[in-house]
Structure 1
Amino acid sequence: MLYILDTANINEIKRVLDMYPLDGITTNPTIISKERRDFKELLSEIRNAIGERMLHVQTLGTEAQDIVKEGEYLTKLLGRNTYIKVPVIPEGIKAMKILKAKGINITATAVFTPQQALVAAKSGADFVAPYVNRLDNISGDGVRVVLGIIELFNKFNVSTKVIAASFKNVQQVHKVSLAGAHAVTISPDIYDNLVKFPLTEASVEKFIKDWESVYGKGKLTVDT
């Protein structure tokens, strides 16, 4: 399982990078626009912060030729292990084939059905990103869609990986993990909540209380 952070906030990226295992960053035009900064400067700062971890960056074009140009530009700007996010619209599928022929990494995004994912995979996508919570919000079943994609990929020996996206809570992350998703991209607050549990915190408090009842307050002294 790859844990990827879905944000362009450099302070949160550095905090999570320091605290948790992190395999990369995903962004999209909405996430980047929230930072209200020069996008090239921001993306370059993110790349410097995460080193050679994956960085997924989305194009804005709606025609294949524009998507390809943007993908080439972003790859040149951000270097190795950059993945160009391309929506699974018809022109996006066309662009994926061209980008793949140029050796550029691709993440198919805005995926809502298993067939969209399979077509994108056959067009050269390295990752497909199904949106879990957005499906749930319209009375769909995001986890079932993720499972359907994984079943298709396994059935036809497809090497493309599933990076499940769009989460509202930890339970959704847990369910797509059980379904076999290769990666999840999550917000910083959801990542924090993955490791939080009341009984864990209560256990730590009891350990400290029991220790201090005998030895008093203070940390362990370690001889060096």
Structure 2
Amino acid sequence: MQYLLDTADVQAIQRAYDLYPVCGVTTNPTIIAKENRPFFEILRDIRNIIGNASMLHVQTLGKTAAEIVKEGEYLHEIVAGNIYVKIPVTAEGIKAIKILTSKEIQVTATAILTAQQALMAAVAGASYVAPYVNRIDNIAGDGVGVVAEIVELFNTYKLETKVLAASFKNIQQIHGVALAGAHSVTINGELMDGLLQHPLTDWSIDRFSCDWEGVYGKNKLVSDL
């Protein structure tokens, strides 16, 4: 499983990279706009934190294939390190994916709500596909089920494209796509923290500390003995 952070908040990124096994950051126009700072300044700050080896997914805004390709080439040239150009799965987007991947520019197909959208993007050459789990649930669909279908199709046709599941509201959705075989998830810092949280874990730690301190003294570590 690859864990990515879905934010452009540099403080949240710094914290997550310090604590967790994070391998990249995903952004979109909404996430970027929330920071209300110059676009490339935000990307430079993110890259300075995560390093050149980590994945950085950045979305295009063009409507036509020509516009998307122009943006993708520009991002690939300007943004340092391991960058993936995010492209929504419209017909023009699929055309752009074919062109950019032929130029050896890495692409993530995004705004996916069906397994067939994901399959088309993968055949076109996308390195990752990003199904929107919670958005599918919100239209009376089955987000985890769609991820499972995508994984099955990729296995059936022996495609190397990875599933980067996105759009989560709770831990159960993340757990569900992990069981379904998603290769990666992109989540915010709160959900990243939530993957480790359980009241009985806290209770166990408190019990360990209480029993230890009863014999060896308060605030004593193993290295103090």
Superposed CA deviations along residues 133-181 of structure 1, whole A, max 9, x for unmatched, are 0011111000000000111111111110000000001110001000000
Letter in 1 for 2:11: N
TM alignment of 1:1-224, pairs within 5 A: 1-51=1-51, 52-220=53-221, 222=223
Unaligned runs of at least 5 residues, structure 2 = none
**Cα shift at 1:215:** 2.4
Bigger Cα displacement from structure 2, 213-222 vs 116-125: 213-222
Letter in 1 for 2:17: L
Q: For 2:126, what is the secondary structure of its paired residue?
A: coil
Distance across 2 between alignment mates of 1:178 and 1:31: 28
Letter in 1 for 2:35: E
Task: State the TM-score, normalizing by the size of structure 1.
Answer: 0.98
Q: For 1:109, what is the secondary structure of its paired residue?
A: strand
Distance across 1 between alignment mates of 2:101 and 2:215: 65
Bigger Cα displacement from structure 2, 157-166 vs 212-221: 212-221
Identity %: 60
Count of residue pairs the alignment pairs up: 224
Distance across 2 between alignment mates of 1:221 and 1:54: 38
Task: State the TM-score, normalizing by the size of structure 2.
Answer: 0.97
Q: For 1:222, what is the secondary structure of its paired residue?
A: helix
Q: For 1:217, what is the secondary structure of its paired residue?
A: coil
Aligned 8 A contact 2:98 2:124 in 1 = yes
Aligned 8 A contact 2:213 2:220 in 1 = no
Letter in 2 for 1:9: D
**Cα shift at 1:223:** 6.3
Unaligned runs of at least 5 residues, structure 1 = none
Please give the root-mean-square deviation of Cα atoms over the aligned residues, in Å: 1.1
Q: For 2:151, what is the secondary structure of its paired residue?
A: helix
